[in-house]
């Protein structure tokens, strides 16, 4: 019998949580696991909130003791006067900063299409003039003075997120994704979009327009490799959609902080993924779009982001401006110009996004259709994919960025069989926006990704972690070591933090589909009859996200005078010293306010997740989602040897020439190391580009050759090794092949024992003397 008495007798919450699993065991049937899940959610949030509170309290106590000793200072009266003058002046400068922010907002609302791109650029293609018009455009970044662009260098196309904000954040400053590409001599393009969509445009139209952009870039650079697509956040899944539906025109895809598997996550974290289940799924989005006369206001999305961190939204960023108002204004106003400029989507666009990503997770499950005739399968991407995620990202955690891999592939063997190269890199703590805008990230991860992509085609198919470590130097002279370590899908799941059950999310998706149909048939005709452009404008302008900015702008008759007053204050500025005890007390009070807001955040997150699992984790509700939680990888296992590409490769084990044999040898070496250093990859790529017979091959032919030999080595390693003498026949060619392998793997003193052993095995297979003179043929035969 389910007895809750022991639980309610516990006065201490920690003891109650410890007792909960025993209590849950007494629940009947499936409800025992249901109760355990609820307890696990409560415990995870309790421990996290407790750890955060203790850490902040220690800092506050250290600060309070320093402040207490300052009150004995005989100069206290003078410090008080200095503080009052400083605070009054900061108040004026703070108000002027808010006025500047609001004026940018008004300029945007009145029709300005300026982006926050800090780079000079020129329009290449206007999407409104395409056969399927959209509000997107393609611009080319004009290289700054002193930067030379290689016309035959691989072009880069950067796609920013359209998640309520405008475009340009990927080129917000010099140390950015644009800077990383253009300073290495690559032609760099940017996909921008305007505030209002073209009436009736769909995600299929947008994808078609982006495909036209790629074709135009390829036309402008006919001698260059296929363009790299860099997608930020929602721009990442847009790039993946483009590559999956147009695999013939796109080069490598880099997805930064992109939610590709939205159900994935860890209990006690990632509260944003639960919001769809608490607001009823898709109908609320369609309702808001209908009220907006067919347009969905991006301010709603921005508000969802802001509520994740109320401490920063309602206090932290404003106090930081107030505290450092003499230096912080340009950064604050520049960022808020992007953050507070709200963009719209059509009803069809936001409905597709919610149904296929946020609630339905169809893209991650492999069941998304771009339109009635176009199915989207991420396995159709035949270019390398690089995923950049961070454990500090509370909007797109690593599980959501990487979860599509185990959802689409059973194991690494299938990835190799399909000729795919998937790379990922994980940051320890940078936040979501930091992935795109942090200078430290741009100088490290993005710069190394750009460097790596120069030679990415030389990498054999498989799943790799891109490991970036500091090597030598400081500041701008710092050099990084990059290696590509082979990983299994199980290792990816473990590194990303694990994943919980998707059954509750499947139940949400199922009910969302049903309730969406009910809304379309019942309420929507009445909502559409009541909605019009005037009503939509009133709703938009009275949105709190906009209203505060209207009031703070020069449209308010009281605000223009603030500018003149701020100019006078700057001339007579008298900042208080940092060690002023009243300044220290102010910062102490600000820390207490931040701690209170963080407590509210922890309580909010706990309630969101608890209520979600309370409602959707119940056994009857989970039955509702049966069938929808299945992924491609859970379908009946496919015999990969039956794939045409595998059969064709295995039929050619003993057929080929010097090129086939050398590539096979290099793949053997790569497998022996379990990782590939970027320096070796670059040497391999240089060999492919400058050495015959590879230099005269087309890039696609080289890629196919690497794929074919990877399949042969993967499925029949012994037969592949034994067949080498039939591919590389003459003694001269065999010696040349071994020399090239040693050059790429070397120098010899830096080779691992496994690499040296494999070189010896290859030499023995070719009938040559082993490179390691200390090893005898008999020893190598034993190893073989």
At 7 the pLDDT is 40
Instruction: Say how far apart CA 556 and CA 549 lie, in whole Å.
Output: 10
Rounded (to 5) percent helix, strand, coil in the chain:
60, 10, 30
pTM across the whole model: 0.86
Contact by Cβ (8 Å): 685, 458: yes
Instruction: Say how far apart CA 345 and CA 297 lie, in whole Å.
Output: 7
Distance of CA 45 to the CA centre of its chain: 25
What is the residue-wise DSSP string for 444-506? IIIHHHHHHHTSGGGSPSEEEEEEEEEEE--GGG-EEEEEEEE--HHHHHHHHT-----HHHH
Cα within 13 Å of Cα(283), Cβ side = 21
- Relative to beta strand 385-390, strand 253-256 is parallel
Contact by Cβ (8 Å): 170, 236: no
User: In the 8-state DSSP scheme, what is residue 378?
Assistant: G
Sort residue 475 into left (φ over 0), alpha (ψ -120 to 50) or beta.
left
Q: Smallest Cα–Cα separation from 584: which of 57, 53, 62?
A: 62
What is the residue-wise DSSP string for 711-751? HHHHH-HHHHHHTHHHHS-SHHHHHHHHHHHHHHH--GGG-
Instruction: Say how far apart CA 244 and CA 379 lie, in whole Å.
Output: 7
φ/ψ (deg, to 5) at 281: 80, -140
Cα dihedral 434, 440, 442, 443 in deg (nearest 10): -170
Instruction: Say how far apart CA 272 and CA 52 lie, in whole Å.
Output: 20
Instruction: Say how far apart CA 425 and CA 445 lie, in whole Å.
Output: 8
Contact by Cβ (8 Å): 392, 435: no
Contact by Cβ (8 Å): 252, 239: no
3-class state of residue 268 by DSSP: coil
At 51 the pLDDT is 75
Instruction: Say how far apart CA 379 and CA 395 lie, in whole Å.
Output: 25
Q: Smallest Cα–Cα separation from 418: which of 631, 710, 654?
A: 710
Instruction: Say how far apart CA 264 and CA 501 lie, in whole Å.
Output: 8
Instruction: Say how far apart CA 319 and CA 303 lie, in whole Å.
Output: 20
Contact by Cβ (8 Å): 355, 133: no
What's the distance, Cα to Cα, between the start and end of the chain in Å? 63
Contact by Cβ (8 Å): 180, 444: no
Cα distances (Å, whole numbers) of residue 234 to 17, 321, 366, 501 = 38, 29, 18, 24
Burial string for 550-588 (b: 16+ CB within 10 Å, else e) reads: eebbbeeeebeebeeebeebeeeeeebeeebbbbbbbee
Q: Which helix (H) or strand (E) is 37 found in, with range?
A: helix 31-70
- Relative to beta strand 228-232, strand 253-256 is parallel
At 674 the pLDDT is 77
Write a three-state SS string for 123-185: EEEEHHHCCCCCCEEEEEECCCCCCCCCCCCCCEEEECCCCCCCCCHHHCCCCCHHHHHHCCC
Sort residue 296 into left (φ over 0), alpha (ψ -120 to 50) or beta.
beta
Q: Residue 608: count other Cβ atoms within 10 Å of its Cβ.
A: 20
- Residue 140 class from Cβ within 10 Å (0-12 exposed, 13-18 middle, 19+ buried)? buried
Instruction: Say how far apart CA 95 and CA 567 lie, in whole Å.
Output: 12
Q: Residue 312: count other Cβ atoms within 10 Å of its Cβ.
A: 18
Contact by Cβ (8 Å): 397, 267: no
CATH of 121-267+350-509, one of 2.40.50.140, 3.40.50.920, 3.80.30.20, 3.40.50.1820: 3.40.50.1820
Q: Smallest Cα–Cα separation from 224: which of 188, 256, 176, 171?
A: 188
What is the mean pLDDT for each group of 10 consecutive residues in the chain (784 residues)?
A: 42 54 57 74 76 74 62 74 94 96 92 82 94 95 89 91 86 77 90 94 96 96 92 92 94 91 83 84 93 94 88 93 95 90 94 92 90 91 91 88 90 89 88 74 72 77 86 61 87 84 86 92 94 92 91 93 95 91 88 88 86 86 76 68 86 91 89 79 82 85 88 91 92 89 79 85 86 46 41
CB-based contacts of 781, cutoff 8 Å, min separation 6:
764
Contact by Cβ (8 Å): 106, 158: no
Instruction: Say how far apart CA 48 and CA 268 lie, in whole Å.
Output: 8
φ/ψ (deg, to 5) at 68: -60, -40
CB-based contacts of 672, cutoff 8 Å, min separation 6:
754, 755, 757, 758
Q: Could you tell me the sign of the dihedral formed by the alpha carbons of 23, 25, 30, 34, in that order? A: positive
Q: Smallest Cα–Cα separation from 158: which of 173, 177, 142?
A: 177
Instruction: Say how far apart CA 639 and CA 636 lie, in whole Å.
Output: 10
Strand partners, 156: 188, 228
User: In the 8-state DSSP scheme, what is residue 653?
Assistant: T
User: What residue ranges do the domains of the chain occupy?
Assistant: 121-267+350-509, 640-783
């Amino acid at each position: 019998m389910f007895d809750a008495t022991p639980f309610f007798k516990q006065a201490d919450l920690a003891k109650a949580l410890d007792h909960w699993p025993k209590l849950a065991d007494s629940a009947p049937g499936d409800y025992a696991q249901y109760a355990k899940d609820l307890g696990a959610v409560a415990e995870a949030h309790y421990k996290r909130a407790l750890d955060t509170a203790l850490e902040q309290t220690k800092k506050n106590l250290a600060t309070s003791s320093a402040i207490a000793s300052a009150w004995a200072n005989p100069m206290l009266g003078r410090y008080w006067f200095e503080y009052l003058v400083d605070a009054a002046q900061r108040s004026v400068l703070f108000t002027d900063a808010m006025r500047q922010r609001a004026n940018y907002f008004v300029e945007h609302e009145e029709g300005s299409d300026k982006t926050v791109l800090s780079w000079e650029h020129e329009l290449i293609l206007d999407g409104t003039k395409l056969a399927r018009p959209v509000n997107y455009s393609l611009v080319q970044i004009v290289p700054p003075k002193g930067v030379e662009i290689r016309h035959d260098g691989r072009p880069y196309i950067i796609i920013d997120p359209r998640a309520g904000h405008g475009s340009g954040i990927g080129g917000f400053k010099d140390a950015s994704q644009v800077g990383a590409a253009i300073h290495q001599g690559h032609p760099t393009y940017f996909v921008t979009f305007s505030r209002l969509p073209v009436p009736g445009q769909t995600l299929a139209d947008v994808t078609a327009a982006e495909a036209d952009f790629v074709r135009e870039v390829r036309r402008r650079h006919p001698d260059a490799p296929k363009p790299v697509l860099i997608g930020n956040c929602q721009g990442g899944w847009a790039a993946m959609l483009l590559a999956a539906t147009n695999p013939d025109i796109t080069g490598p895809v880099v997805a930064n902080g992109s939610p590709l598997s939205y159900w994935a996550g860890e209990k006690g974290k990632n509260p944003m993924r639960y919001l769809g289940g608490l607001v009823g799924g898709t109908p609320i989005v369609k309702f808001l779009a209908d009220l907006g006369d067919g347009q969905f206001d991006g301010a709603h999305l921005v508000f969802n982001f802001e509520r994740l961190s109320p401490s920063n939204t309602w206090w932290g960023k404003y106090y930081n401006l107030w505290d450092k108002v003499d230096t912080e204004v340009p950064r604050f106003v520049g960022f808020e110009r992007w953050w507070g400029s709200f963009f719209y989507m059509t009803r069809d666009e936001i409905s597709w996004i919610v149904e296929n990503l946020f609630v339905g997770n169809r893209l991650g499950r492999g069941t998304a259709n771009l339109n009635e005739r176009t199915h989207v399968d991420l396995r159709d991407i035949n270019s390398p994919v690089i995923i950049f995620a961070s454990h500090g990202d509370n909007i797109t955690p690593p599980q959501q960025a990487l979860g599509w891999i185990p959802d689409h592939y059973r194991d690494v063997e299938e990835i190799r069989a399909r000729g795919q190269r998937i790379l990922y890199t994980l940051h320890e703590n940078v936040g979501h926006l930091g992935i795109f805008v942090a200078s430290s990230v741009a100088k490290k991860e993005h710069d190394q990704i750009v460097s790596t992509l120069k030679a990415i085609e030389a990498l054999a198919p498989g799943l790799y972690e891109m490991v970036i470590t500091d090597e030598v130097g400081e500041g701008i002279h710092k050099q990084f070591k990059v290696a590509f370590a082979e990983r299994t899908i199980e290792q990816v799941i473990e590194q990303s933090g694990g994943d919980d059950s998707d059954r509750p999310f499947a139940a949400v998706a199922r009910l969302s589909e049903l309730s969406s149909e009910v809304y379309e048939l019942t309420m929507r005709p009445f909502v559409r009859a009541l909605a019009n452009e005037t009503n939509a404008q009133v709703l938009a302008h009275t949105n709190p996200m906009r209203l505060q900015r209207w009031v703070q702008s020069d449209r308010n008759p009281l605000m223009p005078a603030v500018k003149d007053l701020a100019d006078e204050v700057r001339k007579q500025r008298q900042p208080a010293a940092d060690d002023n005890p009243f300044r220290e007390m102010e910062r102490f009070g600000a820390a207490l306010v931040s701690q209170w807001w963080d407590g509210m955040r922890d309580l909010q997150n706990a309630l969101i997740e608890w209520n979600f699992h309370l409602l959707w984790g119940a056994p009857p509700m989970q039955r509702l989602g049966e069938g929808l939680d299945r992924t491609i990888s859970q379908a009946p296992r496919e015999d990969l040897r039956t794939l045409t590409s595998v059969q064709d490769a295995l039929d050619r084990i003993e057929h080929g020439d010097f090129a086939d044999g050398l590539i096979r040898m290099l793949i053997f070496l790569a497998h022996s190391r379990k990782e590939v250093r970027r320096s070796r990859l670059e040497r391999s790529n240089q060999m492919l580009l400058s050495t015959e017979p590879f230099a005269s091959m087309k890039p696609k032919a080289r890629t196919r050759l690497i794929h074919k030999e990877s399949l042969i080595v993967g499925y029949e390693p012994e037969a592949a090794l034994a067949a080498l003498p039939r591919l590389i026949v003459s003694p001269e060619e065999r010696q040349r092949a071994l020399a090239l392998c040693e050059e790429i793997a070397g120098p010899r003193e830096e080779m691992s024992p496994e690499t040296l052993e494999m070189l010896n095995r290859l030499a023995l297979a070719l009938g040559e003397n082993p490179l390691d003179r200390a090893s005898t043929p008999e020893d190598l035969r034993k190893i073989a």
